[in-house]
Each structure stands twice: as structure tokens, then as C-alpha cells.
Structure 1
């Protein structure tokens, strides 16, 4: 995609592996919502914005994952007056992106976890809480939707909702059945909350095509998250470690992990669902023979 796709009055999408939103201020400026994985995405995004006769005035990152912030540094270098805004805590990760692979690995990460898919270039970022705000002349409502990330926000602009990674397109869910999250219970609550919103005419997920029915998209996501929880519960009916549970769940979904990044990302998903199950009393943890073992109730 090299052009902007109109979602509503003054609201555009730049579609790609990761979607970016472009919201007009009415006087030739635009708020950019998420900047993609890397400089390549950012270059194409800026060309599309310029072709629409718009100039970037600010960037809003919905969360600090590398595929949503990787273009920040390039855009800020091209437009030094552009400020970057992000939810609290996520802003710290944008300023210090080396923390992301460190947290996933649990220590200083090996080189295999320091590629662009986990480690974005650093950029400035200003913390911004949820609620109704005006950024660079653009009025938006930021809705707190944690779960996929610790402090993610969705962005509503009139009848247009950019759901970020609180909701995924059906094709993205099919391609990645272990949908990333740090808190699976919060992920479900956030999807349900977006699905219950009134007055949404079109919803743009972070990954996937825009669709008109937010309630239906939320149902599809909730069903996928529930399947993961069920698979994790089934995996620990025979006591096992987190890594053994991951292997069982991956086998159940036909997921083949070929690199370290895939393993640590999917391990985090399984860990999140294990904690949700533990808090519900469906599994418990035990230490046996110097191993942390999960046991189904």
C-alpha cells in the first residue's frame, strides 16, 4: 500500500503489515497514530501523507512494541518539531527500547533478540493518560485497553476507532493463533469493552483490514483468546514446566517456532494465560526437583 485509505471525515489509514492512522487537524496538519516497524514503513507513510497534502504535526504511539514505534526516530529526524505521545510506562519503553527484549528474556538479551522486531530505535516520548485530549489540533478520545501491552490505548476520532492491538483482524488471528499479550485477562476485558462501544462506524485493527462492525470483530478476538486459554489449561493437565506447556500448546495449534524470538514471544503468551488460570483456581504452580511445574486443578 502506497496511498492513504479514507476511513471517515478527516480520518485515514496507511495499511500494511502494521497499520498507521492519519488524523487531520483541518488546516493541513495531521496526527500520525503509530509509525510502523522501521524506516521503510515510515518513508512510505510520509510519502502517502504528503501526497494527501498533509504535514505531520505529532505522533501518538498506542503502545511501545517495536512494530508500532519503529518509524518514530525517522519521522522525528525529518520533522524536529513533531512531538511523540504515548501512554505512561509505554513512553519509558519508547525512550529506552532496550528494556523490551531484556524483559522478555529476563536478562541481558542475546543478539538474536536485538533485531528490529523486538528492539526499535529510541525516540523522545511524552506520557499521556487516557481520556479526551487534543493533540496538535486533533481532538481524540484515548481508551485504555491494556492486555496486549501493559498500558495500550485505542484511539477514537468521531466514528472511527483505531483499536491498535486490542483487536486483530481475522486473518491476523489465523496466522498467529498465539496472540501476544502480557495479561490475558486484561486482553479479554479490553476486547469486550471495545466490542460494547456505541457509535463506531469503522474499526481499524493494528493488523488487518478495516471493518464496520466492532462488536463482531471483538467476538472473533474473544473466541481466539478463549481457545488459547483452553489449550493452555489442557497442556498442564499433565504437570509440566512453562516451556513444556508452550511446546504442547504450539503442537495443538500447529505452530512451528523457528527462532529464539518466536519462542520467547509465545512463551510470554503461555505465561500470561497460566497466570490467568492460576488466579481463577484452575491451575497451581509447584516446585519439584528444582523445576517450576504447573499442575491442572
Structure 2
């Protein structure tokens, strides 16, 4: 079994497909931040926490995507009554996880969209606002970084910044050219807002390895997000189309491999977000044509 990796005084990480942060309260307790996709991740996380001589005091989910709160149910089975915190809108989804695939599909989702990647077990999260907070005996600062999700928090623990999914490691950016977002303009603004934070010694993205170079990580993410916007715009400039038309063409342009229904609805949301940004900028327009919503270059 791997041990927790130290990021800073009282701050450790259980690395995985999703990083889970463990923040110590100085009295043998620990705040668990993002519990991973499922029971397998959460079980390994708890083993590492217990091997470090710590016991969970609370859970904080930075946002409501299933890969960040899917492990809550197993943790709560082991530690009943443990408080769970999240941004207010995200807490509603964590309490009612069907809202995630329902929103992505636009109707009651079929079984193919009710997998653990889109539909985590429910857990009783309570909404909490941004700013300095004490959660599970741990002092931290919650920084609003919407865009990847409707609401999301990055957080500061002393000189450690856990960026959650406001920033991704280079490998994740290369693997997923259509980086998920609900609002691409907000996604870019949130990433940029982290660049000039002072006294950050180490930054940990939600997916990827820790680094000491915050400006470089922000720059890599902004460049990736802008590439997606440019690809969507270039595709609209080639020929108008519906979101699904454009999704297929953008995917081919970026070399995206789409292997599941979940990937389709996730990537469709990304293209929709960037189209909304282009509409707001006046670079694209939409109209109803033959019962379809069609996007084209603004004349």
C-alpha cells in the first residue's frame, strides 16, 4: 500500500486518477478533500489515512462531479455522521446526483448514462460559502473558481494551493483536448485568477502531479482552453451546424477518441460551452433551421 505524500506542513495527498487531499487538524484528525470516483479509491484512501495515524473529521468536495465525490458513500459507511461540505449549488447535486446526468442528457438519462462516471451515490452535503473557513478542525481558505463546474472551490492550506479542477496537469490536458467545462469563459477567468496568488510554494491540480511553478501551470491550462475555443470557432467558420454536427467535426479536428455514451454527452457540453462564449463575444450566431438549433459565423 502506498503512503500519503506530503505537500506541506499538515497537508498530504493520496495521488490517483483524482487527487485526494488530507489536511491534518493537529490532533490526530484529518479533513478529507475529494474522495475519488468510487469505493475502490475511497478504501485505499482510508487505509493510507489510518496508516498515517489519522482519523477523518469531515469531507470537503470541491465540486459535484462524480469522480470527486463518488467515494463519499464508502467513507460515510465507515464513519457515519461525518459532515460533508461543498459549494452550495454543488451540494444540491451531491445530495441528488441524478441531476448530473439529467442535466447533461436533457431528460431522464438512459442506463448508459447512469454509470458511476456520471451518477455517484448520494451523500448529505451541506453548502458552505467561500473565504476563510474552519472545517473538520482545519483552517483553510476557499477560493471560488467556477467554470469547470457551475460552482467550484480551489483552496489554500498555508503555502499549498489545491486548485481542484480549475487547473489540470499537462498529461491530463494532452489526454483530453476537450477539457470539460460548464462555462468556458469562467473557466479561463478562474484559471487566470490563480496565477498571481502570493506565497504559494506548491500547487496541486485535481488531476496531475504537484508543481512549484504555478504561473507555468496556469499558462498551460489557459493555452489549452484557448485552443479549444479556436477549434470550435474554426469548425463553425468551415460550415454551420448543430451542436452534434459541430461536436463530430471538432472531435475529428482535435483527434478526440469518443468511446462511450458518457464521453459523448460530456464532450457535447464542452462544445456547447465554447459556442456560448463565442455567441457572447459576437463571433457566432444561432438560429432555428429545419427544427434544429444551428450555429454559424455571425454575418
Please classify the TM superposition score into its range, dividing by the shorter chain length.
Answer: over 0.9
* CA displacement at 1:81 relative to structure 2: 3.3
C-alpha distance in 1 between matches for 2:211 and 2:82: 30
Secondary structure class of the residue paired with 2:100: helix
C-alpha distance in 1 between matches for 2:258 and 2:187: 23
State whether structure 2 residue 26 is matched by structure 1 residue 23: no
Q: Which runs of 5+ in 1 are unaligned?
A: none
CA offset digits 1:70-108 (Å, max 9, x no partner) = 000110111113100000110010010011100000000
Q: Does structure 2 retain, via aligned residues, the 8 Å contact 1:57–1:81?
A: no
Secondary structure class of the residue paired with 2:182: coil
Equivalent residue, structure 2, for 1:274: 275
Aligned length: 297
CA offset digits 1:222-280 (Å, max 9, x no partner) = 00000000000011111111111111110111112122111100000000000000000
* CA displacement at 1:141 relative to structure 2: 0.1
Equivalent residue, structure 2, for 1:257: 258
Alignment of 1:120-269 (within 5 A): 120-237=120-237, 238-269=239-270
Equivalent residue, structure 2, for 1:37: 37
Give the structure-2-normalised TM-score: 0.98
Give the structure-1-normalised TM-score: 0.99
Equivalent residue, structure 2, for 1:66: 66
* CA displacement at 1:58 relative to structure 2: 0.3
State whether structure 2 residue 105 is matched by structure 1 residue 105: yes
C-alpha distance in 1 between matches for 2:278 and 2:77: 45
* CA displacement at 1:69 relative to structure 2: 0.2
Q: Does structure 2 retain, via aligned residues, the 8 Å contact 1:22–1:32?
A: yes
* CA displacement at 1:2 relative to structure 2: 2.5
C-alpha distance in 2 between matches for 1:173 and 1:269: 14
C-alpha distance in 1 between matches for 2:141 and 2:213: 19
Equivalent residue, structure 1, for 2:287: 286
Q: Which runs of 5+ in 2 are unaligned?
A: none
Equivalent residue, structure 2, for 1:14: 14
C-alpha distance in 1 between matches for 2:109 and 2:135: 36
Q: Does structure 2 retain, via aligned residues, the 8 Å contact 1:232–1:249?
A: yes
CA offset digits 1:12-31 (Å, max 9, x no partner) = 00000000000000010000
C-alpha distance in 1 between matches for 2:254 and 2:95: 36
State whether structure 2 residue 85 is matched by structure 1 residue 85: yes
Equivalent residue, structure 2, for 1:96: 96
Pick which of 151-160 and 252-261 moved more: 252-261
Secondary structure class of the residue paired with 1:41: helix
C-alpha distance in 2 between matches for 1:289 and 1:101: 27
* CA displacement at 1:296 relative to structure 2: 1.2
Which stretches of structure 1, 4 residues or more, deviate above 4 A after TM superposition?
none
Q: Does structure 2 retain, via aligned residues, the 8 Å contact 1:2–1:45?
A: no
